[in-house]
């Protein structure tokens, strides 16, 4: 019978994709759109490394730059990643425990493909990145939500977490630095979660996509506290800034690695070789630390512009100052009630894209996620002024 899978109905178009589509339409109408929605860096990868790759493209006539690679990724890159984790985080991850993946999205899909059986429970924080829900549901997982309080700095209350754990708990997802809040998990909380994961025998899926985008404090490597329970998902989309090239890496305990590798191999056979070569050169070049510092400085000043503008234009907005990642998660409940309707009006009438809080949360329905990495500081200010204007004109009705 020609027809379709039942399970595929769990999948929905990513909400950012829907906003992208409207934005593209308005762009074709030559509208000036301020992009405060995308989780995509505005700064290109470093020119030094791009030039090296360009040279290889012209000169390389063997299949070295064009052919398949091992499905786990080339050894050179896995070694470079291992060194990078050692240098930045002081953790020792054997290259054999690293699987190069075709972007963080593949990492998420392969991870749940590897661990979930139907009926397994997965604990998600609220708010959290919207990409996890459809994948978990697709694989038959049941989601339990742990609500976090902004007043409390989105801190994880371990006692409340314990109440959610059952003998069906398969995993807890931690995104730190966080999307959408910019929060960084502190060491004590990380340790307490690690103890619980070991005692109760569940996985910690540690999404570290933003690990090098830290504005204050430092990144907490969950691996340090529960090496046998952590599967860490990482991407090169944000640093060096090649989201469209689709490359990232996972690391985890030795019993998980062959399975993660097989899952990724079945999905895409191997990660893109040209991106693997590029990032291998990047991580081992002088450009690596330089570029990382450069983007952190630049994004910090953009974050500061966003924070200052929010305080000026929207004094009753509630948010925490993000210490990492790319976003401010601003609760506008003193101004509006329906963030989805607001985001639509804001885009159609004021030419500013943001992501509604409902995509991340069942609690923060009047919040919006503001990205501060796509546009420069002036345009971020202008965008937040337009949010103010939109509230002034339509706030009461939304």
- If 0-12 CB within 10 Å is exposed, 13-18 middle and 19+ buried, where does residue 17 land? exposed
- Of positions 202, 223, 225, 335, contacts a copy of itself by CB under 8 A: 202
Residues 271-330 interacting with a copy of itself (rule: CB under 8 A): 271-275
Interface residue with a copy of itself, options 34, 148, 256, 336 (CB under 8 A)? 256
Is 397 among the residues that bind a copy of itself (CB under 8 A)? no
Strands (E) across the chain are located at: 34-35, 98-101, 121-126, 142-147, 169-175, 203-207, 230-235, 248-251, 327-331, 352-353, 355-356, 367-371
What residues from 9 to 28 belong to the interface with a copy of itself (CB under 8 A)? 11-14, 17, 20
Task: Write down the least CB distance from residue 76 to a copy of itself, Å.
Answer: 13
Instruction: Provide, rounded to whole angstroms, the least separation between the CB of residue 128 and a copy of itself.
Output: 17
Asked if 30 is part of the footprint of a copy of itself (rule: CB under 8 A), the reply reads no
* Residues in 203-242 that interact with a copy of itself by CB under 8 A: 203, 228-229, 241-242
- Min. distance of Cβ 91 from a copy of itself in angstroms? 20
Name the residue among 350, 336, 341 with its Cα closest to residue 387.
350
Q: Between 241 and 324, name the residue whose CB sits nearer to a copy of itself.
A: 241
β-pair type (248-251, 230-235): antiparallel
List the beta bridge partners of residue 207: 175, 233
- The answer to whether 170 and 115 have CB atoms below 8 angstroms apart is yes
In the complex, minimum distance from the CB of residue 40 to a copy of itself, in angstroms, rounded to a whole number: 5
- Which of the residues 116 through 155 are near a copy of itself (CB under 8 A)? 116-117, 120, 134-135, 138-139
Q: What is the CA radius of gyration of the chain?
A: 21
Instruction: Rule CB under 8 A: say whether 376 interacts with a copy of itself.
Output: no
Cβ proximity to a copy of itself, 203 vs 335, nearer residue? 203
Length of the chain: 398
Q: Report if residue 355 touches a copy of itself, rule: CB under 8 A.
A: no
In whole angstroms, the minimum distance from the beta carbon of 58 to a copy of itself comes to: 5
Does 169 bind a copy of itself (CB under 8 A)? Our answer is yes
103 forms part of the interface with a copy of itself (CB under 8 A) = yes
d(CA 332, CA 221): 32
Give the per-residue contact string, 57-76, with a copy of itself (x = CB under 8 A; - = no).
xx-xxxx-xxxxxxx-----
Site membership for a copy of itself, residue 245 (CB under 8 A):
yes
Residue 140 burial (10 A CB sphere; 0-12, 13-18, 19+): middle
Q: Which of the 8 DSSP states describes residue 44?
A: P
- φ, ψ of residue 248 in degrees (nearest 5): -160, -170
């Amino acid at each position: 019978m020609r027809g379709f899978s039942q399970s595929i109905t769990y999948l929905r178009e990513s909400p950012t994709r829907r906003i992208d589509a409207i934005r593209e339409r308005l762009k074709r109408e030559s509208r000036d759109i301020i992009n405060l929605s995308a989780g995509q860096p505005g700064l290109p990868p470093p020119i030094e490394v791009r030039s090296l790759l360009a040279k290889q493209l012209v000169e390389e006539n063997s299949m070295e730059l064009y052919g398949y690679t091992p499905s786990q990724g080339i050894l050179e890159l896995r070694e470079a990643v291992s060194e990078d984790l050692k240098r930045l985080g002081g953790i020792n991850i054997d290259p054999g425990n690293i699987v190069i993946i075709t972007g963080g999205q593949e990492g998420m899909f392969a991870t749940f493909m590897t661990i979930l059986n139907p009926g397994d429970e997965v604990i998600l924080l609220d708010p959290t990145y919207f990409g996890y829900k459809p994948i978990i549901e697709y694989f038959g997982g049941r989601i339990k939500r742990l609500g976090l309080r902004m007043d409390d700095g989105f801190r994880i209350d371990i006692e409340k977490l314990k109440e959610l754990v059952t003998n069906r708990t398969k995993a807890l997802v931690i995104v730190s630095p966080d999307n959408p809040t910019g929060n960084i998990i502190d060491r004590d909380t990380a340790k307490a979660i690690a103890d619980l994961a070991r005692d109760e025998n569940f996985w910690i899926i540690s999404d570290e996509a933003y690990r090098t985008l830290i504005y204050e404090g430092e990144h907490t490597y969950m691996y340090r506290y529960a090496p046998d329970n952590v599967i860490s998902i990482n991407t090169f989309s944000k640093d060096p800034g090649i989201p469209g090239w689709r490359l990232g890496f996972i690391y985890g305990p030795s019993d998980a690695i062959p399975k993660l590798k097989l899952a990724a191999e079945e999905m895409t056979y191997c990660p893109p070789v040209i991106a693997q070569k590029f990032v291998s050169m990047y991580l081992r070049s002088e450009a690596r630390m330089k570029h990382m510092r450069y983007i952190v400085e630049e994004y910090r000043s953009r974050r500061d512009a966003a924070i200052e503008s929010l305080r000026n234009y929207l004094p009753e907005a509630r948010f925490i100052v993000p210490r990492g990642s790319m976003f401010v998660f601003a609760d506008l409940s003193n101004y509006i009630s329906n963030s989805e309707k607001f985001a639509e009006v804001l885009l159609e009438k004021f030419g500013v894209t943001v992501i509604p809080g409902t995509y991340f949360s069942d609690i923060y329905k009047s919040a919006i996620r503001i990205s501060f990495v796509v546009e420069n500081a002036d345009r971020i200010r202008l965008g937040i002024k337009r949010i103010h204007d939109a509230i002034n004109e339509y706030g009461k009705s939304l």
